[in-house]
Amino acid sequence: MKKFIKTMLLLAIAAIPLGCANKGEEGMKKKEIAISAAASLTDALTELKNVYEDEHDDVFITLNFGSSRKLATQIEQGATADIFLSASLDDMERLKEQGLINESTIVDFTENSLVLITNNVVQIPVSSYEQLGSAKSDHISMGEPDTVPSGRYAKEVLEHLQLWTPLQDKLVMGSDVRQVLTHVEMGNADYGIVYASDAWSSDKVTVVAVADSSWHSNIIYPGAVVSDSNYPAEAQDFLDLLSGKKGSAVLQKYGFK
């Protein structure tokens, strides 16, 4: 009998810390903030995610990168997102009109430039966009104009220079701007049209020309809290960091204006 009682007491004592541990784990459960962001923001946002999480022990951030148009479509289809960071005003406007964005939170937090790049191994690169028409190249990569903002801007540049039609057989379309960068890095395309921030992130490419800003629409990045955000206060807090002095410093560090 005594042995039985002793055994039951030991089991009861052993159960106490287990119960407390479970309660503690539940108490420490972090708020998960989901950010859908243009692929060109990959490096800057990865750093800002770490900055924010270091300052907020109760928050964990997940980053979903892609073309702005595809990300907007995902949000329309009900994908989980607390913040939308776009590389174009059009895609933000599209979500705003459907009431999927908290309009009062929209902020234009940075800008970018459009550059022409080539792989570092190319011996005699062109020195301007205009020369693409006569360059001895097989492939020129750019984003898909219908879904990738950088592709829309690139098309505007080529149309302005009357090169859009002549270059059709050489154009290789990417699903987002980072894929365009990869095409050039790997030598699958002789030239590529990307953002200045993407070119800055790679030591495998060289910028050979910067597009005149009058050749394309302004490359402005708007951000906003998604209407169905589970954590709107925390989402706004991150957006404030991004658009504030700390965010601006990090964005400039990675080649944004």
pLDDT in tens, 175-209: 999 999 999 999 999 999 999 999 998 999 999 99
Q: Which helix (H) or strand (E) holds 209?
A: strand 205-210
Assess whether 156 and 86 both reside in one domain: no
Rg (CA), the chain: 24
Residues in a beta bridge with 84: 36, 224
Assess whether 238 and 187 both reside in one domain: no
We report the CATH number of the domain holding residue 171 as: 3.40.190.10
Q: Closest Cα partner for 223 from 34, 76, 38?
A: 38
Assess whether 123 and 102 both reside in one domain: no
Assess whether 247 and 156 both reside in one domain: no
Phi, psi of 115 (to 5 degrees): -125, 155
Assess whether 12 and 30 both reside in one domain: yes
Assess whether 141 and 231 both reside in one domain: no
- Top pLDDT among 256 and 124 is at 256
Rounded to the nearest 10°, the torsion over CA 40, 44, 47, 50 is: -70
The total number of structural domains in the chain stands at 2
**pTM summary value:** 0.82
Assess whether 165 and 183 both reside in one domain: yes
Q: Which domain holds residue 12?
A: 2-111+219-253
- Residues in contact with 133: Cβ distance below 8 Å, sequence separation at least 6, in sequence order: 161, 163, 166, 167
Question: pLDDT tens for residues 138-177?
Answer: 899 999 999 999 999 999 999 999 999 999 999 999 999 9
Q: What average pLDDT score do residues 128-139 get? A: 89
- Residues in contact with 90: Cβ distance below 8 Å, sequence separation at least 6, in sequence order: 149
Question: pLDDT tens for residues 67-102?
Answer: 999 999 999 999 999 999 999 999 999 999 999 999
Give the domain-ending residue among 200, 215, 230: 215
CA distances (Å), origin 113, targets 3, 55, 200: 79, 31, 11
